Amino acid sequence: MTENFAARLGSAAPRGTTAPGLFVCFEGGDGAGKSTQVRLLTQLLEGRGREVVVTRQPGGTPLGSQIRQLVLHGDHVAARAEALLFAADKAQHVDQLIAPALARGEVVITDRYTDSSIAYQGAGRELGADEIRALQHWAVGGVLPDLTIVLDVSPEAGRARRGDVHDRLESEADVFHAAVRQGFLDLAAQDPGRYLVVDAALPVDEIHARVVKAVARIDAAASTAQGPR
């Protein structure tokens, strides 16, 4: 970690103790409906006067956009190269966008983060969840979401929802997507206080209501820890 990066993060301590902002992440298989929920939560929080930074991974920074092109649409990307490219995107993202926004006290909502790599590269590509978790947490300097919402979708429903356009990951067989799904559920089971798992087949409004409730809970906890904001 560079000195600047470390200074902005405060340290690599768990989130909630260092920066004043709120960090919320949406995760789930392809076609889970994350972007709709990101939009609804953003509108709600902005309506309440919060500064919200919305981002997605891979992408979200100039370097991230180039990595996105390489990793999602390149030919013959080896599994370990894929894992390293996703990690590089996260490192850039945290340094340029996420850590500065949290330090300013803003809300950051990200469409995918470290858990996507643990699920897709660790479980889906079978590179090992522990190895990919270590790589990803190193890449982001320990900056982890206050709340991760997993929109749980079956491979069949995900395929039906995303239609005919497929990137490299989306084109994988159902068995790959089933491993990814299990990867997300395993992560949530290991740390239930920091996760909300919602059935992606529920109506959009019902999912949103559950998300809002969970965000209010962690927001209240963060406010108590940091004083009013």
Binding site for ligand TYD (CB under 6 A): 30, 56-58, 72, 86, 111-112, 116-117, 120-121, 167, 169-170
- CB of 39 or CB of 50, closer to ligand TYD: 39
Report residue 132 as tokens: 């990919």
What is the CA 146 to chain-centroid distance, rounded?
Answer: 11
CA dist., res. 1 & res. 201, Å (int): 41
| Shortest reach from residue 167's CB to ligand TYD, in Å | 6
Other Cβ atoms closer than 10 A to 82: 21
CA dist., res. 67 & res. 89, Å (int): 7
| Shortest reach from residue 225's CB to ligand TYD, in Å | 28
How distant, in Å, are the alpha carbons of 117, 155, 187, 195 from that of 192? Answer: 19, 23, 9, 5
- CB of 107 or CB of 121, closer to ligand TYD: 121
- CB of 111 or CB of 146, closer to ligand TYD: 111
| Shortest reach from residue 86's CB to ligand TYD, in Å | 4
- CB of 21 or CB of 57, closer to ligand TYD: 57
| Shortest reach from residue 159's CB to ligand TYD, in Å | 12
| Shortest reach from residue 215's CB to ligand TYD, in Å | 20
- CB of 171 or CB of 224, closer to ligand TYD: 171
CA dist., res. 221 & res. 215, Å (int): 10
User: Residues 138-160, buried b or exposed e (16+ Cβ, 10 A)?
Assistant: ebbbbbbbbbbbbbbbbbebbbe
With 0-12 / 13-18 / 19 or more C-beta atoms within 10 angstroms meaning exposed / middle / buried, residue 221 is middle
173: region left, alpha or beta (phi > 0 left; psi from -120 to 50 alpha): beta
- CB of 87 or CB of 222, closer to ligand TYD: 87
- CB of 15 or CB of 93, closer to ligand TYD: 93
163: region left, alpha or beta (phi > 0 left; psi from -120 to 50 alpha): left
